[in-house]
């Protein structure tokens, strides 16, 4: 994972497989079916890196031959929270790695004119203060949606939150870091800038539309 001095909260997952798959996502010719599969795969590969600091506890295991010592991830209190809609595409890939995780949902859409988030749904497990949250959304553009989602999680009692996206814009990373400096952001790419409509350049277009074929 790479860090950049300008954005201390940012971690860029530079693994070759992630970078290869990201180029397929960016390609305008990639069809919905493949786009969905690749988002799933990138999310899983990124989660592998983003969970590398999870605490382990000792465990005793009975092999077919004898008793031995092993390890288990301690706590089992991981919670995945996709921001609807596009975040949904990242859930299954991560869930395959951590099947004990719970899944919450935050419904937000970005108003086309103001680019500010409008919220319409919120549901997370009731024991939020005891949980580690992975907030999921492929796109961090202005950062309005991410900052609002983190604020909602904190109102529900969450104290340990990481944000996982695929493409981030510098504007969004900065806005999220200013509002929530405690939230580490994982991405596959830090792109150049936003255009006048709030789309990330070079980006990959509208992630929700490309995932669900609603373009």
Residue 71, token pair as written in the block: 């390890």
Q: Helix, strand, or coil here: 117? A: strand
Nearer to ligand PRP, 66 or 181 (CB): 181
Beta-bridged to residue 136, according to DSSP, are 82, 164
Beta-bridged to residue 105, according to DSSP, are 123
Please state the closest distance from residue 42 (CB atom) to ligand PRP, in A: 14
How many angstroms separate the CA atoms of 4 and 32, rounded? Answer: 32
Nearer to ligand URA, 126 or 214 (CB): 214
How many angstroms separate the CA atoms of 36 and 40, rounded? Answer: 6
Which phi and psi angles does 52 have, rounded to 5°? -70, -15
Draw the binding track, 7-46, toward ligand PRP (x: CB under 6 A; -: no contact).
----------------------------------------
Q: Which of 110, 162, 175, 210 is catalytic?
A: 110
Draw the binding track, 79-98, toward ligand URA (x: CB under 6 A; -: no contact).
-------x------------
162 catalytically annotated: no
> Which residue of 139, 148, 161, 185 would you call a contact of ligand URA, by CB under 6 A?
139
Comparing every residue's Cβ against ligand PRP, the nearest one is: 208
DSSP 4: E
137 catalytically annotated: no
């Amino acid at each position: 994972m790479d860090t950049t001095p300008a954005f201390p909260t940012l971690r860029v997952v530079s693994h070759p497989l992630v970078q290869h798959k990201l180029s397929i996502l960016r390609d305008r010719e990639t069809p919905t079916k493949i786009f969905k599969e690749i988002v799933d795969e990138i999310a899983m590969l990124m989660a592998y890196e983003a969970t590398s600091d999870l605490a382990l506890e000792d465990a005793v295991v009975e092999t077919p031959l004898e008793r031995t010592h092993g390890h288990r991830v301690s706590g089992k209190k991981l919670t995945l929270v996709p921001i609807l809609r596009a975040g949904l595409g990242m859930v299954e890939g991560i869930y395959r790695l951590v099947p004990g995780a719970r899944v919450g949902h935050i419904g937000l859409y970005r108003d086309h004119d103001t680019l500010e988030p409008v919220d319409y749904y919120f549901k997370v497990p009731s024991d939020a203060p005891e949980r580690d949250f992975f907030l999921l959304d492929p796109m961090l553009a202005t950062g309005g949606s991410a900052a609002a989602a983190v604020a909602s999680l904190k109102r529900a009692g969450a104290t340990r939150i990481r944000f996982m996206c695929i493409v981030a814009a510098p504007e969004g990373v900065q806005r999220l870091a200013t509002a929530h400096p405690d939230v580490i952001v994982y991405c596959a790419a830090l792109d150049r800038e936003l255009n006048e409509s709030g789309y990330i350049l070079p980006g990959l277009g509208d992630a929700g539309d490309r995932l669900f074929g609603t373009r």
